[in-house]
A and B are shown apart, each in its own frame.
Chain A
Amino acid sequence: MTASLPDEVVDPNAPVTNMDYFMALEFEEIICPVVQRYADGLLAGKILGHRCPQCGLVYVPPRGYCPIDVLETTEADEVELADRGVVTNYTVVTPVQYYGQEETEPFAKVSVLLDEPGGMLSLQDVLEVPVAEVRIGMRLEAVWVPEAERTVAEIGNRWGGAGGCILGWRATGEPDVSSDQLNDRVF
């Protein structure tokens, strides 16, 4: 006995319909030792980077290698960085709504070039400054989460950042650095 499908199921002229298929995948990744140490540094109120022994470039968060000289970097190359610096570039993002989005108001993201020994932190938040006043050359200092409340739950192998330990950056009130000196460094 063969069954046949009713006509309305096989009508090729019926309009195409769509259905939503919501899926969630879980990935659990172990924090690599170099990022773990970076996270431990943040908990202790320090920003740690690695300085390449060959080219001298400072990587923060440290990656465990210098991709320019293609050599591994270790704790021997660790350097404690300043938690003050200057805005070298920025944008103001008007948030788009998507699944998981929590932002609703325009927010600024700045690149902060840290004072000596250097290092660049990008996509940082600016606190207590209206978005319209964010500018290149602005001197900033880190606003640390009180030590007892610090967490590194947000720090992952890929995303780095300092969320959970550094709330953001506030203006120091020092005079702006002239933008010619900064060459609009993004990285």
Chain B
Amino acid sequence: MADIAIIGHAQSPSWRMADLTEPQFLFPVISEAIASANINRRDIGFTCAGSCDYLSGQTFAFVMNLEAVGAWPPITESHVEMDGAWALYEAWVRLQVGDIDTALVFGSGKSSPGNPSEVYPLQLDPYTLTPLGVDPVSMAALQARALLDAGLVTEQEMAQVAARSRRDAMNNPYAQVSGEFDPEKLLAEPYVTMPLRKHDLPPISDGACAVILATADKAREVCERPVWIRGIDHRIEAHQPGMRDLTQSSSTRLAGERAGVGNAPIDVAELCVSFSHEESVLRRALGLGDEVKINPSGGPLAGNPIMAVGLARIAEAARQVSDFGAHRAVAHASSGQALQQNLVCVLEGD
């Protein structure tokens, strides 16, 4: 496989009830990503977007986002109805073909106009699960319960993950929820849906993220500190939660193996920990020991712009390599509920 690097990226803050439209807040994110990559917009060989109609409550919602890209004169672009991390995967594949040298990837979404407990049941099997009205917090709660019962995590550990994430997020200008929280006080709060409390849940966020990829020659030409994608893979599991061992994430483990996580020591990981208990599952699935710093950005617990949040993990991991001296980082994105589908990406500096 050809070496592909991340040469630039940008994010919007995560907000609740943003008063800008999605194309309006996407607009500067894409422009900043391009500027940060030190390339011309018209040199971009391929653009790929990630977004979801149901989040927006509008069929063909992604069409308007094209206005933030600079699609006149015409461009070569595509779209996945998935998190921008999968748009990055499509762009990575496209760059492997060898005829173009840069790609623009972005993910965006407004989660706040809709009600998650109305929208997310539609993401489940329409015959057996949607009619039950299982909301996404309850689905996550099932996984948390399995982990607690298996002795793989404790409520204290979950509260500690939440507190640590929001403390680290104080250094993240894009974060929506940050601050010093005392795990003991958090544990005194009532459950929202047993065994999950408010601190275990991600915020509801609107936001966008854009990343610029380049082939090796182009990266060397324009970028002082390219961040190399050493491996990238994604896998999905069976859909029915009753058919999976919710205490493991076999697809994350498999994707991690294929991406080569275990080939060398990892310094830092940006994982799509949307619910605090997921950190335990993902650490184990990826074989990340205690020495690995998880989510210095705060992760989704600090800002959860669905459709951009997975791509933002890749951008944040890249930032750790290019700006904070990490040599080797892992980024993870997830799709579906209770970690059904997972993407893992290994990044390295020179």
Contacts and interface: CB of A to CB of B under 8 A. Distances in A.
Determine whether A and B are in direct contact in the complex, meaning some CB atoms lie less than 8 angstroms apart.
Answer: yes
Most A CB contacts (10 A, CB to CB) among B17, B20, B21, B24 go to B21
A164 to B, nearest CB: 20
B31 A157 contact: no
B57 A25 contact: yes
A32 B70 contact: no
Contact of A68 (B19, B57, B72, B110): B72
B202 interface: no
Interface string B107-146: 0001001110011001000100011000000000000000
B58 interface: yes
A108 B316 CA distance: 52
Contacts of A25: 54, 57, 114-115, 118-119
A157 B66 CA distance: 16
A70 interface: yes
A180 interface: no
B319 interface: no
Given A25-B115, A25-B118, A65-B24, A158 B64 contact: yes
Nearest to B22: A157
B71 interface: yes
Contact of A29 (B27, B41, B113): B113
Contacts of B54: 25
B27 A65 contact: yes
Contacts of B41: 70
A161 B57 CA distance: 19
Contact of B21 (A21, A28, A32): A32
Given A64-B24, A67-B72, A70-B41, A26 B67 contact: no
Range of interface residues on B (Cβ < 8 Å): 20 to 34
Contacts of A65: 23-24, 27, 67-68
A126 B254 CA distance: 61
Nearest to A34: B24
Which among A27, A31, A33, A35 has the highest number of chain B CB atoms within 10 Å? A27
A158 B68 CA distance: 15
A67 B71 contact: yes
Nearest to A157: B21
A65 B72 CA distance: 14
A67 B24 contact: no
Contacts of B70: 67, 70
Main DSSP-derived SS at the A contact region: loop
Contacts of B17: 30
A32 B206 CA distance: 14
Interface in B12-71: 17-21, 23-24, 27-28, 31, 41, 54, 56-58, 64, 66-71
Contact of B67 (A23, A28, A33, A67): A67
Nearest to B118: A25
Contacts of A157: 21
A32 B19 contact: yes
Contact of A63 (B67, B72, B115): B67
Contacts of A158: 21, 58, 64
Given A27-B114, A33-B19, A158-B64, A21 B131 contact: yes
B306 to A, nearest CB: 14
A33 B28 CA distance: 16
Interface in A99-144: none
Interface string B57-94: 11000001011111110000000000000000000000
Interface of A: 21, 23, 25-35, 63-65, 67-68, 70, 72, 157-158
Closest 5 CB pairs of A and B: A27-B57, A67-B67, A70-B70, A27-B113, A29-B113
14 contacts: A23-B122, A25-B54, A25-B57, A25-B114, A26-B115, A29-B57, A30-B17, A30-B19, A34-B24, A64-B20, A67-B70, A68-B72, A70-B68, A72-B27
Given A21-B131, A32-B19, A70-B70, 18 more contacts: A23-B122, A25-B57, A25-B114, A25-B118, A25-B119, A26-B118, A27-B56, A27-B114, A29-B57, A30-B17, A65-B68, A67-B67, A67-B71, A70-B31, A70-B68, A157-B21, A158-B58, A158-B64
